Amino acid sequence: MLIAFMNLRQRLYFTEIGRVAGRVESGIPVGEDRISRAGSIADAVGGQGVCLSDVVKSGLTVELRRLDGIDQIRDFPQWVEIANRTDAYLLHAVSCLPTNGNFWLRMAMVRQAIAEVPTSLEHFMRLSQLYAPAEADVLRARLLLLGRLSPIGLSALAPIWKADVKVACSQRFSWSVKGLPPARPEVRSYLAEIAGDADGSRLPWCRP
């Protein structure tokens, strides 16, 4: 009874981040002031060690939206501060839900934005792939990350992205690749190698 009451109290306290996350995920505009306030509440999720899955997931949506709303070039000092907060939140999130492939992917994306360290990214991406090998939105996000990697990072993560490309392009009309930016030359070379396996997809991205 006491645990149930504590869980309810935590959910009530963090209600605002759930509301904001719902609007963000639905594509409804949210003002930057409200995002900033919700972000401060989300920071407390990790600070207080809250591991309720719905609260942690909503908090991550808010954290990522807050980071995306800052101009990395014009407001670099603020961006670094918020990026570090987001990174700290992600460490908490994966400690609560270590089998969530999306969380490991977001960790890779934030770390890559801060400073690309291929060995670190490889670890996070492997865990993302392990726990979400063919989950459409996570697979798509991993493929999007390909476009941000340096040539060194792309080479280091080749076994991971090759597996993702093969999964995505073996699915007929795969949503995972629809609308993606044109594949990089290294990816197109690999697509040529697996052309027979990728014939199930009619989407241009999957053509060598």
Give one word for 115, left, alpha or beta, with left for phi > 0 and alpha for psi -120 to 50.
Answer: beta
Residue spans of alpha helices (H) in 97-205: 101-114, 118-131, 136-146, 151-156, 158-169, 185-193
**Residue 159 domain-assigned?**
no
Q: What is the CATH number of the domain that holds 20?
A: 1.25.40
The 8-class DSSP code of residue 98 comes to T
The 8-class DSSP code of residue 194 comes to T
- Separation between Cα atoms, residue 11 and residue 17, nearest integer Å: 10
At 152, is the pLDDT very low, low, confident or very high (cuts 50, 70, 90)? very high
The 8-class DSSP code of residue 181 comes to P
Q: Give residue-wise pLDDT tens across range 181-192.
A: 999 999 999 988
- Separation between Cα atoms, residue 106 and residue 125, nearest integer Å: 9
Report which of 70, 74, 137 is spatially closest to residue 100, judged by C-alpha positions.
137
**Residue 190 domain-assigned?**
no
Intra-chain end-to-end CA distance of the chain, in Å: 59
**Residue 191 domain-assigned?**
no
How many domains would you assign to the chain? 1
At 170, is the pLDDT very low, low, confident or very high (cuts 50, 70, 90)? confident
Q: Give residue-wise pLDDT tens across range 96-121.
A: 999 999 999 999 999 999 999 999 99
Half-sphere exposure of 89 (CA within 13 A, CB side): 28
The 8-class DSSP code of residue 180 comes to P
Tokens (6 digits) for 87: 């990174």
**Residue 126 domain-assigned?**
yes
**Residue 125 domain-assigned?**
yes
Q: Give residue-wise pLDDT tens across range 27-58.
A: 999 999 999 999 999 999 988 889 999 999 99
**Residue 81 domain-assigned?**
yes
**Residue 166 domain-assigned?**
no
**Residue 182 domain-assigned?**
no
* pTM score: 0.89
Range of the domain at 89: 2-147
Q: What is residue 164's predicted lDDT score, i.e. its pLDDT?
A: 93
Report which of 141, 140, 79, 142 is spatially closest to residue 113, judged by C-alpha positions.
79
The answer to whether 104 and 124 have CB atoms below 8 angstroms apart is yes
